[in-house]
Amino acid sequence: MTDPTTLASLSSALSVTAARAAPAVVSVHSHRLRASGFVWKAGLIVTADEALADDGEIEIQLADGSRKQATVAGRDHTTDIALLRFDGNIPPVALTNGIPALGSLAVVVAADRGAPSARLGMVSLSGAAWRSLRGGEIDARIELDVRLRHSQQGGLALNAAGEAFGMAVLGPRRVLTIPAATIARVASQLERSGRIARGYLGVGLQPIRLDDGIGAMVMNVDKDGPAAAAGMRQGDVIVAVNGGKLSGVRALSRSLGPQSVGSVVDVTVHRGGEPLQFKVTIGERPET
């Protein structure tokens, strides 16, 4: 039989954990969407990009019920991180880079119309770094066995010690956590420049099947882009990059992350049945 004092102690500890995090958690209202967010730095809020409207005014509601206007400092669709600016003096949350163990308890502290809310769950997967469907680099794959409403996206994920290890978001059929290391890396770039630099070849590609694998036909070329500068043309078929066979257009696009900008890659193409080699210096994708 379970000692009732054990359950009472656990309940009390969870309540304290939620109460400590709640003052830094806010509601985010944009157009018809509602989400949660948390104060990352003084005057800066991190929230879930997926739960933020594309345009229109943004209002945040604090734990004390007060409301403030916010503006977008930057957003990154690939990692689901958006950064908002607001005029306020709320102490920020201290994030930990520690990755919670599989099976450990996790508490998601979020907000709904300014009122703090909490959800209790378990870490159902704790794994290595991965790449999102949109090509974002996520430093660890942390899945939570917890139910999350749309308005709770962007809430803080806390471990049993009350440390915030990331931001809870709704993924395909599961709740994911964007870990602290990813937030620090992406939000810092958004604070500095308002965007995340992405690699750019300057070509539109269409996958085609070849006798010995997969190719990517160049359907159009940006005349001012890196591929054009290297000599590539419409109709070329990319078959290899840096000596490795092409595994698909999506894989090629995902390889053009922030770290690729400025690097030189060897691109092998077929033109009229003849192989050609080009050295392409990866550019930075234009904002448009």
- The answer to whether 111 and 117 have CB atoms below 8 angstroms apart is yes
Number of domains composing the chain = 2
Do residues 121 and 261 both lie within one domain?
A: no
Do residues 166 and 66 both lie within one domain?
A: yes
Q: Is the pLDDT reported for residue 137 higher than 80?
A: yes
Confidence of residue 288 (pLDDT cuts 50, 70, 90): low
pLDDT at 136: 86
Structure confidence by residue, pLDDT tens digits, 217-249: 999 999 999 999 999 999 999 999 999 998 888
| Gap between the Cα atoms of 254 and 102, Å rounded | 28
Q: Which of 196, 224, 247 is the C-terminal boundary of a domain?
A: 196
Confidence of residue 1 (pLDDT cuts 50, 70, 90): low
pLDDT at 173: 87
Confidence of residue 2 (pLDDT cuts 50, 70, 90): low
Q: Is the pLDDT reported for residue 207 higher than 80?
A: yes
Do residues 190 and 267 both lie within one domain?
A: no
pLDDT at 76: 93
Q: Which of 153, 177, 196 is the C-terminal boundary of a domain?
A: 196
Structure confidence by residue, pLDDT tens digits, 62-85: 988 899 999 999 999 989 999 999
Phi, psi values for residue 103, rounded to 5°: 90, -5
Q: Is the pLDDT reported for residue 5 higher than 80?
A: yes
Do residues 67 and 165 both lie within one domain?
A: yes
In sequence order, the 6+-apart residues with CB closer than 8 A to the CB of 245 are 213, 214, 239
How much is the mean pLDDT over the chain? 92
pLDDT at 215: 92
pLDDT at 196: 83
Residue 232 sits in a domain whose CATH number is 2.30.42.10
Residue 61 sits in a domain whose CATH number is 2.40.10.120
In sequence order, the 6+-apart residues with CB closer than 8 A to the CB of 141 are 125, 126, 127, 128, 129, 130, 176
Q: Which of 196, 221, 243 is the C-terminal boundary of a domain?
A: 196
The 3-state secondary structure of the chain, one letter per residue: CCCHHHHHHHHHHHHHHHHHHHHHEEEEEECCEEEEEEEEECCEEEEEHHHCCCCCCEEEECCCCCEEEEEEEEEECCCCEEEEEECCCCCCCCECCCCCCCCCEEEEEEEECCEEEEEEEEEEEEECCEECCCCCEECCEEEEECCCCHHHCCEEEECCCCCEEEEEEEECCEEEEEEHHHHHHHHHHHHHHCCCCCEECCEEEEEEEECCEEEEEEEEECCCCHHHHHCCCCCCEEEEECCEECCCHHHHHHCCCHHHCCCEEEEEEEECCEEEEEEEECEECCCC
Do residues 170 and 84 both lie within one domain?
A: yes
Do residues 234 and 186 both lie within one domain?
A: no
Answer whether 0.85 is exceeded by the pTM. Answer: no
Do residues 138 and 16 both lie within one domain?
A: yes
Q: Is the pLDDT reported for residue 40 higher than 60?
A: yes
Average pLDDT over residues 174-191: 96
- Bigger pLDDT: 279 vs 89: 279
Least confident stretch, 14-28, 92-106, 134-148, 255-269? 255-269
Do residues 259 and 161 both lie within one domain?
A: no
Q: Is the pLDDT reported for residue 150 higher than 60?
A: yes
| Gap between the Cα atoms of 120 and 107, Å rounded | 5
Confidence of residue 138 (pLDDT cuts 50, 70, 90): very high
Do residues 192 and 209 both lie within one domain?
A: no
Do residues 114 and 225 both lie within one domain?
A: no
Range of the domain at 138: 1-196
| Gap between the Cα atoms of 36 and 48, Å rounded | 8
